[in-house]
């Protein structure tokens, strides 16, 4: 299983402070907003809140803008936990795609971020 940990942080863009998403996965990849997490073919992937994440709830995770099937089914909230899970498809070639993470901040307000996922072949 690959775990992807999420934490809302403040970023400065020009003269403006905006909400950004710090993303760290269990494979050692880390970045802000546009991280490309790698998941092995057929593996379970779980999006979880990091400690002191500043996030009240993940509301949606979905693939966007691609016809390539990456998830076996749409990610769903795991019962009794504030995380989302799904399995990626089994593949013999590398698959890449952008997806949407939508979440609610502890203090209210929704944020949408579009990171990437890469599925490594068998």
Whichever domain contains 21, its CATH number is 2.60.40.420
The answer to whether 88 touches 45, Cβ cutoff 8 Å, is yes
pLDDT in tens, 59-94: 999 999 877 899 999 999 988 778 999 999 999 999
Number of domains forming the structure of the chain: 1
The stretch 15-31 carries a mean pLDDT of: 96
**Those residues with Cβ within 8 angstroms of residue 97's Cβ, 6 or more apart along the chain or in another chain:** 63, 64, 65, 66, 68, 70, 116, 117
- pLDDT value for 20: 97
pLDDT on residue 122: 86
Residue 46 has pLDDT above 90, yes or no: yes
By the 8 A CB rule, do 17 and 110 touch? no
According to the model, what pLDDT value does residue 81 have? 76
Domain that holds residue 88: 2-120
């Amino acid at each position: 299983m690959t775990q992807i940990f999420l934490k809302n942080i403040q970023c400065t863009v020009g003269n403006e402070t905006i909400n950004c998403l710090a993303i760290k996965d269990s494979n050692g990849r880390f970045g802000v907003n546009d991280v490309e997490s790698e998941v092995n073919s057929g593996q379970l992937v779980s999006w979880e809140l990091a400690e002191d994440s500043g996030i009240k709830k993940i509301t949606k995770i979905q693939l966007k803008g691609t016809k390539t099937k990456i998830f076996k089914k749409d990610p769903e909230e795991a019962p009794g936990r504030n995380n989302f899970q799904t399995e990626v498809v089994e593949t013999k070639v590398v698959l890449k795609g952008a997806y949407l993470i939508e979440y609610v901040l502890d203090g209210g307000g929704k944020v949408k971020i579009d990171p990437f996922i890469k599925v490594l072949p068998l």
